[in-house]
Amino acid sequence: MQSLAGAGRVASYIPELAKVPAGRFGMALATLDGQLFTVGDARERFSVQSISKVFTLTLAIQQVGEKLFERVGKEPSGNPFNSLVQLEYEHGIPRNPFINAGALVVTDELLSHLPDAKAAVLAFARRLGGASDLEYDAAVAASERKTGFTNIALANFLKSHGNLHHPVDVVLDAYFHHCSLSMSCVELAQAFLFLANHGVSPATGERLLTKSQAKRLNAILLTCGFYDEAGEFAFRVGLPGKSGVGGGIAAVMPGRWAVTVWSPEINRHGNSVRGMKALELLTTMTGESIF
């Protein structure tokens, strides 16, 4: 793993993320029977960025079910996560909920059904992660808002096609806050266990999604969770998962466990270099994957 140090770069287009030490590495694996295994900086919180899209998508499915997919697709993008070209080509219907345009539509849907979308997502993450003190990182949210010109363009393009129902600034404010959520590997692994348990949180016994909904969300994670590197992740790792440009990756082995790894240096696709390698080694050495 150490040989991969320097193979990627800490995300610098969000200035606040550029301050994170590149050498950090943490990993946590939580099992459905209550075991927890950790290594490195597994309890240090970091900006989860697009991993938060799993929480927002879950909440949106709870509210409107599959009707959500009338506004956003379910197909891999094959393009960068912030592609304007693809959104224009497809007339304002984002390819899937995990690219930025799709997550903006999901956020817009939450604003239609929840009194406070920011508070709801934070409360959801706290409950799943077993940590009542989780917070949004105000500095990261402000940094994203100050430099998020492409996301602003995506939101305006969606609005121009009638696929954003709330004011652009309101949607962006909620979206930037969701991305700024700060969690540790341990908390994220615990939070993802419901996807390894057919939609039921093992900590609370609460059913968050139906078995069918959990299956379908895992399918979207496998095919769309890593932007234009989803095929590579499926090929090398073989798990449903989601990455974030903060260097985090969360993945699940259905029926068994959830795992999170954090290493801030990312590749050109926005995925953690050492994180992907660590998960490849995990599934190779244990022989456990969905394939």
**Mean of the pLDDT values across residues 201-215?**
95
Question: Which pLDDT value is given to residue 183?
Answer: 98
Rounded to two decimals, the pTM is: 0.96
- Sorted by sequence, the CB contacts under 8 Å of residue 88 that are 6+ apart come out as 157
pLDDT tens digit string along 223-281?
Answer: 999 988 999 999 999 999 999 999 999 999 999 999 999 999 999 999 999 999 999 99
Q: At what angle do helices 52-64 and 168-179 cross, to 10 degrees?
A: 130
pLDDT digits (tens, 9 = 90+) for 145-156: 999 999 999 999
Counting residues of the chain whose pLDDT is more than 70, the rounded percentage is 98
3 falls in which pLDDT band (50, 70, 90)?
Answer: low
3-state SS, residue 196: helix
* In the chain, where the domains are located: 2-283
CA atoms within 13 A on the CB side of 272: 32
What span, in angstroms and rounded, lies between the C-alpha atoms of 262 and 186?
A: 10
H helices present in 27-167, as ranges: 52-64, 84-89, 100-113, 117-129, 138-147, 149-160
**CATH code assigned to 2-283:** 3.40.710.10
Mean pLDDT of the chain: 95
82 pLDDT band, cuts 50/70/90, is confident
